[in-house]
């Protein structure tokens, strides 16, 4: 049993029409698949009768100085990883840039609004607009009942949820927990850029999240959690982009506010920009229970 690979609208429409009844799930990727993507595909397989995986390195979400040209591309390798997980009727959609943007840069795009301008959006202007534009196009093309996104890209996930809510899109968004290596480093296609020395230093992201979790457990409050993580990260990375404790709309928590939050951080090691996050509960008194996604340590 092998997955059907299609590259254009006609091939995709034919493959989708042949799928028959039952819900369809989509997993959108930029390829360079790793165990984090495969966890999304496995969850999609559990949730729906039919699965579509998209592989498309979306130029719209890369800034002019970012790694669009060197972003790893190997469709044969991606396909080999997907084959054991997918079966008859499942589809791998791998369009070209011309197929997705036949007139060049689109005249009409999606604006992520405020969430597209802070933290990731502040560091990468237009990035989340580019993400939402291609996500909307891929939702239209693949017509799924459920779309799965990784918690690893927490701000992207929040932006997608906001778009689905605000534009009344008929799709359910399902989040899948971050997959980590044994040492805790979150899996990312960009980890491949790290030298052994840089990979060791990149573990500061994990230590920073653990420091934040520890502070939260001791009742540090939002700013105490943020500062504990900041101190660890600042000592190890070549550039610290941000450390923040945010609510579900990605608004920084005020120091006098308790509740469910996400500690998000980003930094550069060598020339590789890495992001990570962990959900936690901020309460200005010690907390016993840990949320499910805890980094621990």
- Sign for the CA dihedral angle at 82, 84, 85, 90 comes to positive
CA–CA distance, 213 with 206 (Å, rounded to integer): 11
37 assigned to active site: yes
Q: Smallest distance from the beta carbon of 269 to ligand PAF, in angstroms?
A: 20
Footprint of ligand PAF (CB under 6 A): 28-30, 58, 61, 131, 134-135, 153, 156
Q: Which residue's CB is nearer to ligand PAF, number 120 or number 241?
A: 120
The catalytically annotated residue of 37, 50, 98, 140 is 37
| Assigned token pair, 293 | 């996604």
CA–CA distance, 83 with 153 (Å, rounded to integer): 25
Q: Which residue's CB is nearer to ligand PAF, number 97 or number 260?
A: 97
Q: Which residue's CB is nearer to ligand PAF, number 86 or number 134?
A: 134
Residue 230 · residue 216 · CB < 8 Å: no
Q: Smallest distance from the beta carbon of 245 to ligand PAF, in angstroms?
A: 23
DSSP state of 61: G
Q: Smallest distance from the beta carbon of 56 to ligand PAF, in angstroms?
A: 6
CA–CA distance, 279 with 220 (Å, rounded to integer): 15
Count of H-run helices and E-run strands, the chain: 10, 9
Q: What residues does 282 pair with on adjacent strands?
A: 259
Q: Smallest distance from the beta carbon of 93 to ligand PAF, in angstroms?
A: 11
Q: Smallest distance from the beta carbon of 134 to ligand PAF, in angstroms?
A: 5
Q: Which residue's CB is nearer to ligand PAF, number 189 or number 198?
A: 189
Residue 145 · residue 253 · CB < 8 Å: no
Q: Smallest distance from the beta carbon of 275 to ligand PAF, in angstroms?
A: 11
The secondary structure of the chain in percent helix, strand, coil, rounded to multiples of 5, reads 40, 20, 40
Residue 12 · residue 99 · CB < 8 Å: no
- Sign for the CA dihedral angle at 7, 9, 10, 12 comes to positive
Residue 270 · residue 194 · CB < 8 Å: yes
Q: Which residue's CB is nearer to ligand PAF, number 75 or number 257?
A: 75
Q: Which residue's CB is nearer to ligand PAF, number 151 or number 156?
A: 156
What residues act catalytically?
37
């Amino acid at each position: 049993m092998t997955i059907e690979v299609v590259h254009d609208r006609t091939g995709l429409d034919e493959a989708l029409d042949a799928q028959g009844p039952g819900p369809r799930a989509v997993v959108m990727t930029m390829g360079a698949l790793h165990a984090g993507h495969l966890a999304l595909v496995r969850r999609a397989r559990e949730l729906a009768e039919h699965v579509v995986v998209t592989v498309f390195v979306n130029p719209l979400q890369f800034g002019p100085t970012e790694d669009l040209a060197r972003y790893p591309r190997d469709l044969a390798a991606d396909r080999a990883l997907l084959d054991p997980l997918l079966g008859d009727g499942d589809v791998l959609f791998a369009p070209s840039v011309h197929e997705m943007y036949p007139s060049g840069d689109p005249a009409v795009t999606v604006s992520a609004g405020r969430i597209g301008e802070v933290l990731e959006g502040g560091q990468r202007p237009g990035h989340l607009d580019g993400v939402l534009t291609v996500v909307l196009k891929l939702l239209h093309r693949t017509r799924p009942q459920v779309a799965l996104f990784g918690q690893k890209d927490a701000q992207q996930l929040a932006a997608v949820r906001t778009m689905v809510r605000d534009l009344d899109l008929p799709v359910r968004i399902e989040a899948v927990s971050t997959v980590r290596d044994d040492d805790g480093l979150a899996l990312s296609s960009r980890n491949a850029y790290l030298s052994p020395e840089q990979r060791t230093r990149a573990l500061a992201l994990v230590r920073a999240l653990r420091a934040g979790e520890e502070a939260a457990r001791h009742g540090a409050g939002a700013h105490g959690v943020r500062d504990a993580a900041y101190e660890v990260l600042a000592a190890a990375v070549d550039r610290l982009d941000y450390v923040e404790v945010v609510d579900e709309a990605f608004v920084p928590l005020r120091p006098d506010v308790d509740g469910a939050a996400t500690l998000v951080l980003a930094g550069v090691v060598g020339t590789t920009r890495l992001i990570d996050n962990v959900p936690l509960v901020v309460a200005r008194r010690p907390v016993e229970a840990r949320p499910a996604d805890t980094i621990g340590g």
